[in-house]
Amino acid sequence: DQQVKQNSPSLSVQEGRISILNCDYTNSMFDYFLWYKKYPAEGPTFLISISSIKDKNEDGRFTVFLNKSAKHLSLHIVPSQPGDSAVYFCAARVANAGGTSYGKLTFGQGTILTVHP
């Protein structure tokens, strides 16, 4: 049972345009959401996160939106650059119930973003 889903395996955009990556989740106990970026032959690197008490978080060109009622989050990259071409993973963490989550993350399948010059 995939609790975090990224239904678009790939996305292609032109340089300078907006990239929108989507993620859906089913577990209402998730309280914290993250996006990781991964280049080939490297490990994932943290990009941006959002707590479930917020609906938006912005960091430079990257903005994450959370719609709790729809159990949906999205990552917007504006403007997109060729260096943004990578695999993007959405991840979610279960709320700390008596300190037992231990920061365990559930990942989506990933979306390959290609930004064309």
Q: Write out the residues near another protein by the rule CB under 8 A.
A: 4, 6, 9, 34, 36, 41-46, 49, 89, 91, 102-110
When the beta carbons of 73 and 116 are compared against another protein, the nearer one is 73
Query: How many other CB atoms are there within 10 angstroms of residue 55's CB atom?
Result: 13
For residue 15, give the amino acid letter: E
When the beta carbons of 9 and 16 are compared against another protein, the nearer one is 9
Which 3 state secondary structure label does DSSP give 83?
helix
Find tokens 């403007």 and name the residue.
79
Instruction: Report how far Cα 111 is from the mean position of its chain's Cα atoms.
Output: 9
When the beta carbons of 63 and 93 are compared against another protein, the nearer one is 93
Measured from the CB of residue 39, what is the shortest distance to another protein in angstroms?
10
